[in-house]
Amino acid sequence: MATPTTTASPEDLAKLLLVTQNGLQSQAAQIAHRQNIINVWGGISPGTKVLELGCGQGDCTIVLADAVGSSGSVDAVDPTPPGYGSPFTVEEAHRHISTTILGPRINWIHADSLTFLPDNAPEPTYDIGILCHSLWYFSSPPTISETLRRLRLLCKMIFIAEWSLTASSPSSYPHVLAALTQASLECRKPQSESNVRTVVSPAAITKLAEDAGLKLVNEGIVENPGEHVYDGLWEVGAVSGKIFIQEIEKNVKDERERAVVHALRDATVKSLEPLPRGVKDVRSMNVWCGVFEKA
């Protein structure tokens, strides 16, 4: 596998994204986090043809575009409606990135993964398929497995990065609990729009990949993603709020099931007690990175 090839600094890449001036520090932290993920994967060579599923507003896309160089390309796929997002919509974010120096390397594709991916492909079209912090947005484990099966046909290798459900410090433990709490609620909704829809652990991802005809050839962990990677703080804040209690009462009708979700929320809130500033001191959990190839 190639050595790391990202050359731009997180700060320089953050300036290419459509963010408010006071959001540059957080955005640079997200960029640095994704550069670390690429390093754990083993790097991406210049000239690589990449397919990214779940690109969102382009946080990881722009890092990939930097890594593949002027001779490479990134096809970035996401099903999010173009008008979704705040303070900038997905369409505005993509359009802005397209005007930057890295824009010509990126092809934005608005589509659901299974709609975009062919059911059969005679030979790989891409060098690498990327799923970076996107699996938890999928509707179910079978959907993940089918997506990986189709990716196996279209890509020579598949790189996956997802929250590991492990914590290296007490400050990131609440994020683990919050993710499980959200998942316990969202799986009881007929339709979910949460950031946490289907929680799958590294072991579960590996099993789903094996079912799809893939084998794990390398794995690693990004520990303590960084002080300004706020995913943990956001998720714990959402679970701790009163609106979440209202969502439980609205969506969980069975008393025993409701008690489980409340208990998980209570555990999340209790885990904040050792932190001097409560939610403000929450850090994001570790991230698992796996590299797969055709079995």
CA distances from 288 to 51, 88, 122, 285 (A): 20, 29, 31, 10
pLDDT digits (tens, 9 = 90+) for 258-268: 999 999 999 99
pLDDT digits (tens, 9 = 90+) for 185-226: 999 988 877 888 899 999 999 999 999 999 999 999 999 998
Q: What is the mean pLDDT of residues 142-169?
A: 97
CA distance 59 to 27: 8
The answer on pLDDT for 6 being more than 70 is no
Q: What's the confidence (pLDDT) of residue 230? A: 94
Selection from 5-14, 154-163, 226-235 with the highest mean pLDDT: 154-163
Strands, E assignment, the chain: 49-53, 73-78, 106-110, 126-132, 155-163, 214-222, 287-294
The answer on pLDDT for 36 being more than 60 is yes
Helix 173-186 vs helix 242-251: crossing angle, to nearest 10: 30
Query: Which residues make beta-bridge pairs with 106?
Result: 74
The answer on pLDDT for 1 being more than 80 is no
Q: Residue 66 — very low, low, confident or very high, per pLDDT cuts 50/70/90? A: very high
Share of the chain above pLDDT 70, in %: 97
Q: Residue 2 — very low, low, confident or very high, per pLDDT cuts 50/70/90? A: low
Q: What is the mean pLDDT of residues 122-149?
A: 95
CA distance 128 to 279: 37
The answer on pLDDT for 4 being more than 50 is no
Q: Which residues contact 26 (CB under 8 A, 6 or more apart)?
A: 228, 229, 230
Q: What's the confidence (pLDDT) of residue 87? A: 83
What does the block give as tokens for 275? Answer: 């932190």
Least confident interval from 18-27, 103-112, 118-127: 18-27
Least confident interval from 20-34, 36-50, 168-182: 20-34
The answer on pLDDT for 20 being more than 90 is no
**Across the chain, what does the average pLDDT equal?**
94
Please give the CATH superfamily to which domain 10-170+196-229+283-294 belongs: Vaccinia Virus protein VP39 (3.40.50.150)
The answer on pLDDT for 272 being more than 80 is yes
